[in-house]
Each structure stands twice: as C-alpha cells, then as structure tokens.
Amino acid sequence: MTIPPFSTVRDLLRFAVSRFNQAELAFGHGCANAYDEAAYLILHTLHLPLDLLEPFLDARLSASEIEAVLNVIERRARDRVPAAYLTQEAWMHGMRFYVDERVIVPRSFIGELLRDGLQPYVSDPDQVSTVLELCTGSGCLAVLAAHAFPNADIDAVDLSPAALEVAARNLDAYALNERVALFEGDLYAPLTPQRYDVILSNPPYVNSASMQALPEEYRHEPEMALAGGTDGMDIVRRIISEARQWLTDDGVLVVEIGNERAHVEAAFGGLDLVWLSTSAGDDNVFLLQASDLPR
C-alpha cells in the first residue's frame, strides 16, 4: 500500500479519529468514542503501554510501523470489526481477557457489582462457597467472581462449545482451573443438582426489533449470544423459572438485561425485583432473593 506522509503517533491519532468519524462507527465494545478507540488501537499495534499515550505522541515511527497501524485503522473503519476482535483482547476492571469472534466482547455491568462482592445483598463474600454463572461466554464473569468470592467454587455454563474454548483459555490465564468448572449445555441442564449461594447471568436479552436495528459492529458477534426473542426475555424467563431450586435459602440471582427494563417489568412485574446501581444507571441489572423467586 502507499504510505501517506505520516511520521508520528500524533499524526496517526489525528488521522484515525477523522477516519472513524467519517465512517460513522458505533462504539460500545470497550471504548466510548473515536479518540479513545484510536488511541487504544494505535498503542496496542505499536506494543506500547495502553495507559501512556502522551510520552509517545511525537515519537517518529518506521515505515513498517505506520503501515501496520494504518492497516488496523482501515479494517476497523471499512469492515466495522469491533476493536476487541482486532486486538483479541478485552479489559474489565484492570483484567485482560482473550476474545475472538466465538464470543461477544465482554462488557457486563455485573463486573462492577462484583468488586464489592455484591454487598449488601451478600452479607459476607468470604462465606460464599458456590457460584453459578449461566451463559458464560468468554468466562470473564466467572474469573471476576472467583476473585470476588475467594473461597467459592464456580460452575460456568454455556450452550456454545466454541465459546467454552475461549473461556478455558481465560481460566488458564488466571490459573483458575481448580476452582472454575465449565459445562456445555442449555442453562441448568448439564449440572448435577445442588444449591448455589449466587447465580449470575448476562444472557441473550436483545429483543427482536432491536436486533434488526443493531449497528454493524454488533453483527460480528455471535447472534445466539445476543438475541432474546420477541421481547428479549425468552432466556431470562427460563433462568428465573428454575432458579429457586438451584439457590440456597438466602441465595441471590443477578441478571443483566441491558436496555430491556420495560420488558423485564412487563414480564416479571409480580416479582420483587431489586434494580442495582451501575455506572450506566439503575436500569441494567436486577437482583432477586431466593425467597422471592417462584418455586
């Protein structure tokens, strides 16, 4: 390819932001705007620290480095591939996870709630002994749960064998194979009957109308990990209907539902839903106590 007259990181950053804005890209897979995503992709491609842009802005680059960065910028803009798939990594709360097109890009708000071990709804995170994660995908929430509940054994389930291959890679990276067990199957089906202190899930919840309107970036992700049926609640209904028999008497169920609160309340308005506060507001994650779940 013909190399444009760029010489520094600053040059490439300016060009990338312009190119991304011109292409009208959608953001939401880790970065919120064109500048942040451009900086991330440039630093990653140049093998520079992701949190140190300023010292390198005026560094002069070799022709091969410029070409490598321009290739990444163009693929992001032309093919609208999420940045995480280009770099094969996603970051949640300072932790790196391997990702590729076999899983959705990790972006769960449940991760925020795990930082304090779901307190006060879990009175003592150190006393949690069993955790179940349904629809684990890349396994990121299972890894975060292992850190939030240091004495817990964790079961993580997904219907996709390809997704579980990615999850296994992330468990290896954090040396958690002794504490986290992966199960292939449909929600609770592959599990041996037992009781869990905590059940977590970021299931497919996008309603059919919203699926039709998704930006192209999201169409690179596995559809089965996003689509939740007409009202988005197909999988959520099944999770709730069986959860009571899998929870301890004082256990909790935590489910992420994105922008589907209206559909949740329409489907489960008779339950005592507790909406949890996250950086996105109070509409993305709900909690149910075991005692409030249908038997």
Peptide bond into 222 cis (omega under 30): no
pLDDT 10s digits, 47-63: 999 999 999 999 999 99
DSSP string, 154-187: EEEEES-HHHHHHHHHHHHHTT-TTTEEEEESST
Q: Which residues contact 240 (CB under 8 A, 6 or more apart)?
A: 253, 255, 268, 271, 288, 293, 294
Going by pLDDT thresholds of 50, 70 and 90, the confidence category of residue 124 is very high
Q: How many CA atoms lie within 13 A of 124 on its CB side?
A: 4
Helical spans, DSSP H, in the chain: 9-23, 34-45, 63-79, 83-87, 110-114, 140-148, 161-173, 208-212, 234-243, 261-268
Beta bridge partners, 200, equal 133, 254
3-state class (DSSP) for residue 271 = coil
Fold of 102-292: Rossmann fold (3.40.50)
pLDDT 10s digits, 149-197: 999 999 999 999 999 999 999 999 999 999 999 999 999 999 999 999 9
Q: What is the mean pLDDT of residues 284-291?
A: 96
Angle between helices 34-45 and 9-23 (to 10 degrees): 130
**Domain locations in the chain as residue ranges:** 9-87, 102-292
Q: Is the pLDDT of residue 1 over 60?
A: no
Q: Kindly list the strands in the beta sheet with 130-134, ordered across the sheet, starting from the edge strand earlier in the chain.
A: 180-184, 153-158, 130-134, 196-201, 247-256, 281-289, 274-278
Mean confidence (pLDDT) of the chain: 95
pLDDT 10s digits, 209-220: 999 999 999 999
In the block, tokens 């489960």 appear at: 268
Report the pLDDT value the prediction gives residue 203, as an integer from 0 to 100: 97
